[in-house]
Amino acid sequence: MAGELSFEQPLIELQQKINELKQFSQEKDIDFSEEIVRLEERYKKLEENLYKELSASEVMQMARHAMRPTSLAYIHEILDSFIELHGDRLYGDDLAIVGGIGKVNGIPVTVVGHQKGKDTKDNIARNFGMPHPEGFRKALRLMEQANKFGRPIITFIDTPGGYPGGAAEERGQAEAIAKNLMEMAGFRVPIISIVIGEGGSGGALALGVANKVLMLEHSIYSVISPNGAASILWKDANKADEAAEAMKITARDLHELKVIDGIIPEVLGGAHRDVKEQASYMKKEILHHLTELMQQSEEEIIQGRYMKFRNIGEFMFISDEETQQS
């Protein structure tokens, strides 16, 4: 194992114990096989339970894991072929968002996703997956192209949020995000979005106005980072764990709130343990939803997407106590 997280400590300790026992039994030529089998069973059980019952802040650690597979990793696994396309034709090419065209099981698609770096150097080039307006505009250009040619769109969401900087503001960060939301709502082609890690705020939603919104099991989606919420609400960024719980940011929470359409299970221990296997789960889901959506008329695609978002929100009326919810 590599890149262990603090809550995985019990597993690591148990693994060490097993290793020690194995070594000891070899060195001293004493038969501990029964104990070893027992411990390995315990390990398996512990592992299964551990990842099933992660707290929100633990899921957050998984979602932000340094080794978490990125959009490009999944693109290469899921697509038969892929040509990356660059630039927004207006200002530049933002490497925090990648996109291009290719095929999934022979079906032509356009894919767009936030792109975090594989290492520090890559992360700096990709601005840690935080797009500037030109990133969102590149995404929009590619999605409009897909809409023109009638190709379904697949988006991968993985960003802490739009970049908080002066230049991003001056080039119209708000307008760039807003435009994506509005235009995605009108596309006649099916859109499938998968939150693969961190779905941070408007910068995430800018790729997320889809017919089907899915989340990987250990990913998060929130209006503001738990750290940000804690510092604004309680003037204490150290209360991020508390905020993470209160804000309901995990895939399971969002599914219960009916904001997302499904959860894609992760390989035991997290997607980074086996990218190929993880990608195969995702490909299966993508194909399932694609075939279903591709049978719908353009009108049904547009209206279905519209109603999905139209119905989100909880409110009531004080006069007659009429209540509505998503």
Partner 1 sequence: MLKDFFQKKRKYATIPSEQAKKDIPEGIMTKCVKCGTIQLSKDLEKNLKVCTSCGYHFKLSARERVALTLDDGRLFEYDHDMVSKDPLQFPFYEEKLIKQMEKSGLNDAVVTGEGTINGYPVVIAVMSYDFFSGSMGSVVGEKITRAIEKATQKKYPLLIFSTSGGARMQESILSLMQMAKTSAALKKFHNEEGLFISMCTDPTLGGVSASFAMLGDINLAEPGAIVGFTGRIVIEQTIRQKLPSNFQTAESTMKHGQLDKVVQRSELRDVLTQIIEIHADKKVSS
Give residues in contact with partner 1 (CB under 8 A). Answer: 162, 164-166, 168-175, 177-179, 181-183, 185-186, 201-202, 205, 208-209, 221-224, 228-229, 232-233, 246-249, 254, 257, 259, 305-306, 309-310, 312-319, 323, 325-326
How many alpha carbons lie under 13 Å from residue 177 in its C-beta half-sphere? 18
Specify the DSSP class assigned to residue 6.
G
Q: Given the complex with partner 1, which of 251 and 279 has the nearer CB atom? A: 251
Q: Which long-range contacts (CB under 8 A, 24 or more apart) does 103-106 make?
A: 103/79, 104/78, 104/79, 104/80, 104/154, 104/283, 104/286, 104/287, 104/290, 105/80, 105/283, 105/287, 106/80
CB 290 within 8 A of CB 104: yes
Tokens of 73: 């990793």
Task: Count Cβ atoms below 10 Å from residue 170 Cβ, excluding itself.
Answer: 9
Closest by CA to 114, choosing from 47, 2, 46, 201, is: 201
Tokens of 131: 């797009």
Question: Could you tell me the smallest distance in angstroms from the CB atom of residue 37 to partner 1?
Answer: 45
Question: Could you tell me the smallest distance in angstroms from the CB atom of residue 70 to partner 1?
Answer: 22
Q: Which long-range contacts (CB under 8 A, 24 or more apart) does 252-256 make?
A: 253/56, 254/215, 254/221, 255/215
Report the distance separating Cα 262 and Cα 35, nearest Å.
41
Q: Given the complex with partner 1, which of 175 and 277 has the nearer CB atom? A: 175
Residue 77: burial class (beta carbons within 10 Å; 0-12, 13-18, 19+):
middle
Q: Given the complex with partner 1, which of 106 and 313 has the nearer CB atom? A: 313
Report the distance separating Cα 199 and Cα 152, nearest Å.
21
Q: Given the complex with partner 1, which of 76 and 148 has the nearer CB atom? A: 148
Q: Given the complex with partner 1, which of 101 and 154 has the nearer CB atom? A: 154
Question: Could you tell me the smallest distance in angstroms from the CB atom of residue 206 to partner 1?
Answer: 8
Closest by CA to 181, choosing from 306, 312, 85, is: 306
Question: Could you tell me the smallest distance in angstroms from the CB atom of residue 187 to partner 1?
Answer: 10
Question: Could you tell me the smallest distance in angstroms from the CB atom of residue 287 to partner 1?
Answer: 25
Closest by CA to 208, choosing from 217, 196, 218, is: 196
How many alpha carbons lie under 13 Å from residue 160 in its C-beta half-sphere? 17
Report the distance separating Cα 55 and Cα 78, nearest Å.
30
Q: Given the complex with partner 1, which of 15 and 222 has the nearer CB atom? A: 222
Q: Given the complex with partner 1, which of 116 and 308 has the nearer CB atom? A: 308
Q: Given the complex with partner 1, which of 49 and 319 has the nearer CB atom? A: 319
